[in-house]
Amino acid sequence: MSLSLFDLKGKVALITGATHGLGMAMAMGIGKAGATIVVNGASSQEKLDNAVKEYKSVGLNVFGYLFDVTNEEQVIENVAKIEKEVGPIDILVNNAGIIKRTPLEDMEVADFEQVIKVDLVSPFIVSKSIVKGMISRKHGKIINICSMMSELGRNSVGAYAAAKGGLKMLTQNMATEWAKHNIQVNGIGPGYFATSQTAPIRVDGHPFNDFIIGRTPAGKWGDPDDLQGATIFLSSKASDFVNGHVIYVDGGILATIGKPANEE
């Protein structure tokens, strides 16, 4: 096997919500594999500019575009700009997402709908805006960032789980419709990762930290860079006959029912 199967030189990849966290880690991996990366942000131009500087600091070829992935008009306009200014989009990573931790009986309908719109509807909007070009070129890679909540429920994240479960099925249906055009659509389901957002609960003795360490067969939180291998694989020629799957990068959580608290 040649490592050229994983070479992304000459490819253009759009990664939504890639100004920080897991999205940035995945975009870094794609960029280091040779692709030109286009990162999307929505919150502020300053945050997007700072992210672009961080990518450039490690020598990556990067462009940043500020737009709301839930706004179809903005998406269509910016996809056209990207393809004119950077080049045709070969790889799309639908990473942008939000979570609202509220018990379902207390959750406002507007909050539930916002989570569904960002986490489920926006991947449809962005994919639809890009896929026609992929169809005409007869190649493309789409990666939807799913979740372990695509498979499991957990207290207080009902809207998120509903969206991510729907995203798993949307991934399968996209694959069903677009595989004939040599377009591969797959998902990545991250487990629990050590990020700035999880830092306050990743301390010895914190109940949730102890729960994750005990629940994960690998016995640790994931490093964001652990997502790069799966992302590069699903972006590259190496995955040309892989379609409609979700790869769970979770340290083995979904493989086991867990263990008793007193078991080593």
Residues β-bridged to residue 145: 188
Catalytic status, residue 160: yes
The answer to whether residues 58 and 28 touch, using CB atoms and an 8 Å cutoff, is yes
Residues 6, 222, 19, 10, Cα dihedral to 10°: 0
Q: Comparing C-alpha atoms, which of 248, 236, 187, 261 is closest to residue 4?
A: 236
Q: Which CB contacts under 8 angstroms, 24+ apart, belong to 103-111?
A: 103/155, 103/156, 103/158, 104/158, 104/159, 107/158, 107/159, 111/159
Angle of helix 122-137 relative to helix 158-178, nearest 10 degrees, comes to 10
Query: E strands within 69-200?
Result: 91-94, 140-145, 183-190
Angle, vertex CA 7, rays to CA 176 and CA 129, nearest 5? 40
75 contact partners, CB below 8 Å, separation of at least 6: 67, 68, 69, 125, 126, 129
Angle value at C-alpha 40, between 47 and 110, nearest 5 degrees:
90
- β-pair partners for 190: 249
Which residue among 55, 65, 160, 248 is the active-site one? Answer: 160
- What is the token pair recorded at 13? 């990849």
Active centre residues (catalytic): 160
